[in-house]
Structure 1
Amino acid sequence: MIREFAGKYFVSLIQWTSQLMSDSEFKTIRLLNGVYLQLHSYMLRVAIPCGVLNATQLYALSIASQKYDRWYFHVTTRQSVQFNWIQLRDTPQIMNALTKVGLWSAHTAGNCVRQITCNPKHGIGLDEQTDITDLMTELYNQFMLNERLIDLPKKVKISVRGNITDNNAGAFNDIGLRLMDKRIYITVGGGLGKEPKVGIKFISLEKEYVSSWIATLLEVYRIFGINKQRPVRIKHLVAEVGKAELIKLTHGFRRIKTATPSKCPQDIRVRHIDTIEWDNSKEFETWFNTWTFPNKQPNFRHVELSCNSGIGAPGDVLAGEVDVICKMVQLYCLNEIRLTQSQTLLLPYVCIVNMKKVFQVCKRFIPNNIACCPGLDYCTKANTRSIFLAKKLSTLKTNLKIRISGCQNSCSQHQLFDIGIVGVNKSGREYYQILVGGDGPNGVLARVLCKAVPAFKVIGIVRWLDKLIKKLKKDRFEKTYQCLARNKIKLPKKLQL
């Protein structure tokens, strides 16, 4: 009902805004409905619950991109989807069409609780300690599309995981939740952007009380913002109030046990395996060893694939390629596909019986370890172009994880990967700052290697880093951030200006 109300509410606002509202007044309304004004057109952001889509939802997104956009939609690093070339008058029709398949755009922008991200390997990762399905359902019901949480000082981002490995940068969210058995371990005050900060280990609670505690923290945060009379994030609240005092302020939350939804059995084991068709080619072997992973469910693996076959920008899902992906998802993947932090797609349940058939589709969609924000091609805040540079770097075939942001807002989360590239404005010209040695799962921020280099120097620097890191690593098990922590490298003068 709330989603339908949000869509209808926005329809009436679109019809009357030219007569009743100024641009500044309408800005608040459109942001709360997920509509941004970008460099050349409006952009609509769509929430993907738990980062999980089925074939019907994929088809709906594809049809919307064909009718109202430019035949593609964009997957972000925060498990949501964006349409970058829409007309404002078409937004009500897009919202209503997506609402019918369980998707919505309300509260994907503005000063509210935005998308609650989760580990894309929940339920399938071998390192999962506790299933987070029930917790995610509870948090969505409590905080998403909550009309009482639309006037927070700034946006709030929440992350949830039940795995040992932090695959969704939980420590760099305003509130990071790690579920272990029946207790939840909480980090608070993380964030990226111009002031990157690792969240502090704050408190542990029983699972039943976490929603009440988060509600109390958000109320404290709201009051703090009113007193400061300036935009502040939760990381500023932690820094100024302090951990001990903030624990006291949130200690009096009402310990109300929330109802836990019934747990659906996930026993999808194949008890009788037919003869497995196998491909003995080198291409299949490389793909299987690189982009398929062991699954908690016997006789299944999960498979990672790129959003497109290399024609579009990183994260762009082309409408012309959706049909083949949807057919594969329906036939061989239990009608489920997930979005990842790396702007890729994850097929969580692929039976080994069907691995050869899945390979015939996925070999067109091989990921390349590079993700980027839309950059100056779309965004008004960007200093440089990201998509063009990402396509150039993809030709290097490096195993290093590279992230490119057009500005310090860190939409690609460039501080958390092997190489981060961020656009800077230098005397009105496009330059790039290069960072190295980040690692999100271990809470390590990348350090600056060079402050400003022109675009034509970047590819040479990345190629040099790729060769150097291969030489410096002790063995194939050492991670890049560990290697760079041991070796304080400096950029050679020939690669500088």
Structure 2
Amino acid sequence: MYRYDQYDHLIVRERIAQYRDQVARRLNDELTEEEFLPLRLQNGLYMQRHAYMLRIAVPYGLLSSAQMRMFAHIARKYDRGYGHFTTRQNIQFNWIELEQTPDILADLASVEMHAIQTSGNCIRNITTDEFAGVAADEIMDPRPFAEILRQWSTFHPEFIALPRKFKVAINGAVEDRAAIAIHDIGLTLTHNEAGEAGFKFMAGGGMGRTPIIGSVIRDFLPWQHLLTYTEAVMRVYNSYGRRDNKYKARIKILLKALGVEEFARLVEEEWQDLKDGPETLTREEYDRVAAYFAAPAYAALDNIDPLAAHADSKPFANWLQRNVKPHKVPGYAAVVLSLKKTGVPPGDATAEQIDFVADLADKFSFGELRVTHEQNLVLADVKQADLFEVWTLAKSKGLATPNIGLLTDIISCPGGDFCSLANAKSIPIAAAIAERFDNLDFQHDIGDIELNISGCINACGHHHVGSIGVLGVDKDGSEWYQVSIGGAQGNDSAIGKIIGPSFSGGQMPEVIDRLLQVYVRNRVEGERFVETAQRLGIAPFKEHVYATPISKGELVGEDHA
């Protein structure tokens, strides 16, 4: 994996020194909170409902075991013993004291990590496929390009104060697991008819108040022009993007206002001044970065059936089916460690679990692991012969729930328990739904389904692209939940459609149950929930959900605040 060069070390060291001085001045009241706000946001520090939250960057979701152990250290020393993995492949700590934040950043720097550009109107953490480099369907490894973009975008002087935040995702496989269509820029590695490598270039995707699927603005861009063409897009956005209304400041609004053809024309026009300039990538530069992502020392193995020696273990078979993914190297597999055990907030991991996963990575996966945008963790290089042992160990720490891609693999933001922007709580809703459907036989019968929950319109839980999406809304000072169906991410991305009036929190498990009843009654063989919903439309679901009153009920559970 990538290691810091001299410039990375210098940038991070200088940023920590600057920030330590800024915090000292704030604590001495030499800076007002208003003056301090942009300074702390540049370092990933937010003020939440009860305390500061620090968001740490995990570039393209890739971690070493040493970096993972640093998260456990931070959780124990500076937080309340746990961290929260996010849909941006980052990690957040929700109970941080301001005066300790410079020390946290210094601790992070000791393992080549930081919190730079995890907030603010800049280019945020570049994300990609959690199986990059090992996926059986991979066209080309996207990680070198993600790293090149990271280096280029960090403190880029022209794009550090954009109209609004900016997110980039890269997919390098046949199946899009990076959700590129809902990003400001979405890139797909591909080859043209001559066999040359390049990108299909999408722009203008996003969620929030105006969810939009991105548009293709260039069918094929030679890889050498990744930076020059991206800069052209950024310049057009920086020049024409609105700054008078933050709700209309994202690139998706600009692209919609101009039209795809006009936006693409402006980009091409801007690109002519950049094309073949000094930012054009060379093979030498690509090879330099790609060398950091060289394959580990795989053993020469044959594929085996890991279930053969444990044919009588249904729990192990379930886990193999849901949590183990194909690998391009014979004899190996990728393992998804579920952070969605019933009773635990989605994406949360304790310091003990974080240390444990680092140990698993060292023993079974070349000391490396990944964070998924579905808020789980991945050991990418596990020998098939070791899968039973990995399952046994992971199960002992609550990390082997065989629910990846199933109903209780819920994606959720922290919601109103923590976030000051939220209209409603997310964690209790996720907990109530998970408890209601905590039956693996039932979940396996329902099959692949994505349930996404956001506590506000900012859509950090990606509810717009959930098979079932839940959005917290404020209704006369009370917390209510709007439900949509038919959303999807990946190759066939789609925005879900709202089924009708909102529900109380206590009604949500029954609402989900009624939606599933319609699906089971109407599905054809092999059809997933999202496919049934898109085929039938919302009418039959709406009719059944609202046919008879639903008890308002009460949400019972831990008060996470």
Whether TM-score is above 0.5 comes out as yes
Report the CA distance between 1:312 and its aligned residue: 3.2
How far has the Cα of 1:100 moved from its partner?
1.4
Give 2:78's match in structure 1, choosing from 68, 72, 85: 68
Distance 1:43 1:120 in 2: 25
Does residue 188 (structure 1) correspond to residue 210 (structure 2)? The answer is no
Distance in 2, matches of 1:309 and 1:250, equals 46
Q: Which amino acid aligns with 1:270?
A: A
- What is the correspondence of 1:289-300 to structure 2 with a 5 Å cutoff? 289-300=321-332
Q: C-alpha displacement at 1:273, in angstroms? A: 6.1
Determine whether 1:51 maps to 2:101.
Answer: no
Give the drift of 1:168. 2.1
The one-letter code matched in structure 1 to 2:310 is D
**Stretches of structure 2 lacking an aligned partner (at least 5 in a row):** 1-9, 192-196, 552-561
Q: Distance in 1 between matches of 2:302 and 2:142?
A: 29
Q: CA separation in 1, counterparts of 2:244 and 2:472?
A: 31
Whole-Å separation in 1 of the counterparts to 2:326 and 2:378: 13
How do 1:72-471 and structure 2 match up within 5 A?
72-181=82-191, 182-203=197-218, 204-225=220-241, 229-231=244-246, 232-251=249-268, 252-253=270-271, 254-255=274-275, 256=277, 257-258=280-281, 259-262=285-288, 263-264=290-291, 265-266=294-295, 268-272=297-301, 278-280=309-311, 281-307=313-339, 310=342, 312-363=344-395, 364-365=398-399, 366=401, 367=403, 368-395=408-435, 396-397=437-438, 398=443, 399=447, 400-441=449-490, 442-471=492-521
Moved more, 345-354 or 466-475: 466-475
Give 1:308 shift.
Answer: 6.6
**In structure 1, C-alpha distance between the alignment counterparts of 2:112 and 2:465, rounded to whole Å:** 32
CA offsets per residue over residues 275-299 of structure 1, 9 Å max, x none? Answer: 9793231111111112111111111
CA separation of 1:164/1:356 partners in 2, compared to 1, >3 Å: closer, same or farther?
same
Please report how far the alpha carbon of residue 451 of structure 1 lies from its aligned counterpart in structure 2 after TM superposition: 2.6
Contact 2:344 2:431 in 1 (8 A): no
TM-score (norm 2): 0.85
Q: Structure 1: which 5+ residue stretches go unaligned?
A: none
Q: Which whole-Å deviations, capped at 9, do the CAs of 1:217-243 have from their partners, x for residues lacking one?
A: 2122222247x5443111122122222
1:51 corresponds to which letter in structure 2? G
Answer with 458-467 or 359-368: which moved more.
Answer: 359-368
**Residue in 2 that maps onto 1:7:** 16
Give, in whole Å, the separation in 2 of the partners of 1:216 and 1:137.
Answer: 19
Equivalent-residue separation in structure 1 for 2:340 and 2:259 (angstroms) = 45
Distance 2:254 2:355 in 1: 47
Contact kept? 1:269, 1:298, Cα under 8 Å: no
Note closer, same or farther for the CA distance 1:355–1:429 as it changes in structure 2 (3 Å cut): same
**Structure 1 residues 182-191 or 163-172, which shifts more?**
163-172
- Is the CA contact (8 Å cut-off) linking 1:376 and 1:382 kept in structure 2? yes
The alpha carbon displacement at 1:495 in A equals 4.3
Alignment-mate amino acid for residue 278 of structure 1: A
Helix, strand or coil at the partner of 1:79: coil
> How far apart in 2 are the matches of 1:449 and 1:287?
33
* Amino acid in structure 1 at the alignment position of 2:533: L
Q: Say which is worse superposed, 323-332 or 394-403, in terms of deviation.
A: 394-403
The alignment partner of 1:342 has SS state of: coil
Q: Residue 411 of structure 2: SS of its match in structure 1?
A: strand
Kindly indicate whether the alpha-carbon contact (under 8 Å) linking 2:159 and 2:238 is maintained by their aligned counterparts in 1: no
1:147: Cα distance to partner?
Answer: 4.3
Cα deviations by residue, 1:385-412 (Å, 9 ceiling, x for unpaired):
1111111111203443211111111101
Which is further off, 480-489 or 186-195?
A: 480-489
CA deviation vs aligned residue, 1:42-68 (integer Å, no higher than 9, x gap): 101000011011211111011011111
Matched-pair identity in %: 28
- Deviation digits for residues 353-385 of structure 1 (CA, Å, limit 9, x no counterpart): 111110112333114311211111101111111
| Preserved CA contact (<8 Å) 2:301 2:331 | no
Counterparts of 1:272 and 1:167, CA distance in 2: 27
For the residues of structure 2 that align with 1:274 and 1:421, how far apart are their CA atoms? 41
Q: Which moved more, 1:84-93 or 1:133-142?
A: 133-142
Alignment partners' CA distance in 1, 2:340 and 2:530: 29
Deviates more, 1:400-409 or 1:276-285: 276-285
**Corresponding residue for residue 21 of structure 1:** 31
For these two proteins, the number of residue pairs brought into alignment is: 495
- The 1-side partners of 2:413 and 2:432 are apart by 15
Q: Which amino acid aligns with 1:261?
A: D
Root mean square deviation of aligned Cα: 1.9
TM-score, structure 1 normalization: 0.95
Distance in 2 of aligned mates of 1:382 and 1:301: 39
Q: Alpha-carbon deviation of 1:266?
A: 2.0
* Whole-Å separation in 2 of the counterparts to 1:167 and 1:436: 20
